[in-house]
Chain A
Amino acid sequence: MTRRGSLLGHVLRHAVLLAGLVIMLAPFVWMISTSLKPPNEIFSTKLSLLPTHWAAVENYTKAFTKVPLLRYLLNGVIVTGGIFLLQLLVSLPAAYALAKLRFKGSDILFTMVLIGLMIPAQAPAIPRYVMLYELGLLDSYAALILPFVFSAFGIFLMRQFFRTVPDDLMHAARLDGLGEFEILWRIMLPLAMPAMLAFGVISIVTHWNDFFWPLIVIQTGDLATPPLGTLFFRNEEAGSDFGPLMAGTVVITAPLILLFLAAQRRFIEGVTLSGMKG
């Protein structure tokens, strides 16, 4: 889309965009601002961004001590890390085989993957819960990680990527003396880095933000992932202790936002790709 137009047009454009930005980012700004304020300033009707009396230390300390915030974040890391790692272990070989090797049943498996893409996450929830219940695995890391090990999206994405690797590259590798596994390890994996990163971003964000499943399977506060932890926190803070509450939400949302800012391109790439699942 070519960029031309009058100066007025451009000024208007930016004015609108900036105004919209104010509304879009207001919750974040206000969240941070409130986390720094003492109660009397929070409850005043005067609008101000910065507190006159800084209560940051009190608010954040309260937040960290009321509930195990850091624990929640750690759980987020453990769970999303565990899920992604297992997903890679399961998806990469399958994607490679589907893309590059010829075997009976590859069409069936791929159709299954496509069907898997269409099933929403909440549909299998009840039977999964029942399975975990029967196995005595409810309220554990296993309950949070295991159900998501199969990622239709991951297999689909990696297969699409592997298909773009020219067959000749594999032929050359075979002639050079590499076996199938070494081809995967020495040639395919290094080349697949960008696709894996995009997959990683989607997987980590999806599972970090997942509220439905942890809500169902977790009772113990110590095992809560960030979304569930936030709920616990909010329920603890019943009443109007908004300072520490906002401090808590700042801590909970910070990691993903920082991750996004650091890896914007991968993030957007991953999101666009997942949007293209169809």
Chain B
Amino acid sequence: MTDVHPADNPSENPGERRAAYALISPAWVAFVVLLAGPSLAVVVLSLTDWQLGAPTMNFIGLGNYEQLFADRVFWKSFTNTFVYCLVVVPGSVFLGLGLALLIEGATFGRAFYRAAYFLPVTSTLIAMAVVWEFLLHPSVGLVNIVLEQVGITGGDWLKNPNRALFTLAGIGIWQSAGLNMVLFMAGLKAIPPDLYEAAEIDGASSVWERFRCVTWPMLGPATLFVTVVSGIRSFQVFDTVEVLTKGGPNKATEVLLYTMYTEAFNFFRTGYGAAITVVFLVVVLALTLLQVKAGEKRTHYG
């Protein structure tokens, strides 16, 4: 089709326009009622002192935020979430990359390994968290029993305030590594094999050199992308906290979403909870914008 392509111009055909509006109206309505409306409402709510079921709602401006930023618990929660991310993201990204490299280079069993390592990603996290709770049991849990065999005393993984967050992070890495692995495998497949042949001719023939000269640079955009996606996922940590530690011991595992949950749905301090949501939303949006930028680089890098 070599002439001016008309698909970019609005149609002069009224039938087409009517059909189009009919087709998009359910989505449009659903969008406004279910997504746009609530998202805007949450911001508005954060500026009020409303509690669910209360008869009056007063506009208090940034009052909730002032209270929030002065709250020690909020800061603990915020920091915990970041620490969690700082452990889970590098952990699961590098693990995922390593697994992808190992599996892609294997001569057989690739599908098997891929399926097996991906299994944790598909399993219901809550159920596996319950399993982990059992595994991490100080006396009868598998982890401590195995460690006992090599002479190490495991101790309490979830009740120790210094360890608890990192234990949860470990579970987080266990659950996400497979996902990152799959994303990296897609990225590896996209590297044209001629690049390796060219590198070979240029003298870069050892495993390390091939990685350094071809694989790593070509995976750059994918790595950035996977990292950001991991970051967004881990920032949303909630399930394991609610099931295993409920934010404890002593707020050691209090994370942002958990704080929001307790404020909004246990104490029904709706306005306050909304403010926490807004903070959460801002961080996630920032990360998501990064993801979009990283995604664009990935598609143009081919």
So, do A and B actually touch in the complex, CB under 8 Å? yes
Q: Are B124 and A253 in contact (CB under 8 A)?
A: yes
Q: Are B295 and A43 in contact (CB under 8 A)?
A: no
In the complex, whether B146 has a CB less than 8 A from a CB of chain A is yes
Q: Are B127 and A230 in contact (CB under 8 A)?
A: yes
Q: Are B148 and A17 in contact (CB under 8 A)?
A: no
Closest to B197 in A: A2
Q: Are A125 and B277 in contact (CB under 8 A)?
A: yes
Q: Are A256 and B122 in contact (CB under 8 A)?
A: yes
Q: Are A212 and B107 in contact (CB under 8 A)?
A: no
Least CB distance from A103 to B in Å reads 4
The answer, among A34, A102, A124, A226, for a CB contact under 8 Å with B9, is A102
Residues of B contacting A96 in the complex (Cβ-Cβ under 8 angstroms): 23
Residues of A contacting B120 in the complex (Cβ-Cβ under 8 angstroms): 24, 27
Residues of B contacting A194 in the complex (Cβ-Cβ under 8 angstroms): none
Tell me the total A-B contact number using a CB cutoff of 8 A: 303
- How many residues of A sit at the interface, in one of the four size bands? 35 or more
- How many residues of B sit at the interface, in one of the four size bands? 35 or more
Q: Are A109 and B274 in contact (CB under 8 A)?
A: no
Closest to B276 in A: A126
The SS class assigned to the B binding surface is helix
Q: Are B270 and A126 in contact (CB under 8 A)?
A: yes
Q: Contacts A3-B106, A94-B27 given; indicate if A126 touches B117 (C-beta within 8 A).
A: no
The SS class assigned to the A binding surface is helix
Q: Which residues in window 34-48 of B have CB below 8 A to A? A: 34-39, 41-42, 45
Which residues of B are in contact with A by a Cβ distance under 8 Å?
Answer: 1, 6-11, 15-17, 19-24, 26-28, 30-31, 34-39, 41-42, 45, 52, 99, 102-107, 109, 111, 113-128, 130-135, 140, 142, 145-146, 148-149, 174, 177-179, 182-183, 186, 188, 191, 193, 196-197, 207, 215, 225-226, 229, 232, 236, 238-239, 242-243, 257, 260-261, 264-265, 270, 273-274, 277, 280-281, 284-285, 288-289, 291-296
Smallest CB-CB A-B distances: 7 pairs: A278-B295, A124-B38, A94-B27, A127-B38, A150-B30, A93-B23, A127-B41
